[in-house]
Amino acid sequence: MKQVVPTQATLSKMPFRALLVLCIFTVAVSGLVSAQNPPHRGRKYNPPPPTAKITVTVVKATNGKPVENAAVVFHPIKNGKDEGGLELKSNEEGKVSIDVIPIGDTVRLQIIAGGFQTFGDDYQITTDSKDIVVKLKKPDRQYSIYEAHDDSKEQGGAQSSSDRPTQPSQKPSSDTSKPPQSN
- The lowest-confidence range among 77-91, 135-149, 168-182 is 168-182
Strand runs (DSSP E) across 33-118, as ranges?
Answer: 51-60, 71-78, 81-82, 86-89, 95-102, 106-112
Cβ(96)–Cβ(56) under 8 Å? yes
Q: How far is CA 134 from CA 9, 130, 154, in A?
A: 92, 13, 17
Residue spans of the domains in the chain: they are 71-135
Chain centroid to Cα 111, Å, comes to 16
Q: How far is CA 153 from CA 21, 149, 160, 162, in A?
A: 93, 8, 9, 11
Instruction: Give phi and psi for 38, each to the nearest 5.
Output: -70, 150
Q: In what helix (H) or strand (E) does residue 122 lie, and over which residues does it extend? A: strand 119-124
**pTM of structure:** 0.56
- The lowest-confidence range among 13-22, 55-64, 151-160 is 151-160
Cβ(102)–Cβ(50) under 8 Å? yes
Mean pLDDT of the chain: 76
Cβ(137)–Cβ(157) under 8 Å? yes
Could you count the other beta carbons within 10 Å of the beta carbon of residue 155? 17
pLDDT tens-digit series, residues 113-151: 999 999 999 999 999 999 999 999 998 887 788 888 777
Give mean pLDDT, residues 40-67: 89
Give the model's confidence band at 33: pLDDT under 50 very low, under 70 low, under 90 confident, else very high. low
Instruction: Give phi and psi for 142, each to the nearest 5.
Output: -65, 140
- The lowest-confidence range among 19-33, 63-77, 130-144, 160-174 is 160-174
What pLDDT score does 143 carry? 76
Cβ(56)–Cβ(134) under 8 Å? yes
Range 46-73 burial, b when 16+ CB lie within 10 A, else e = eeeeeebebebbbbbeeeeeebeebbbe
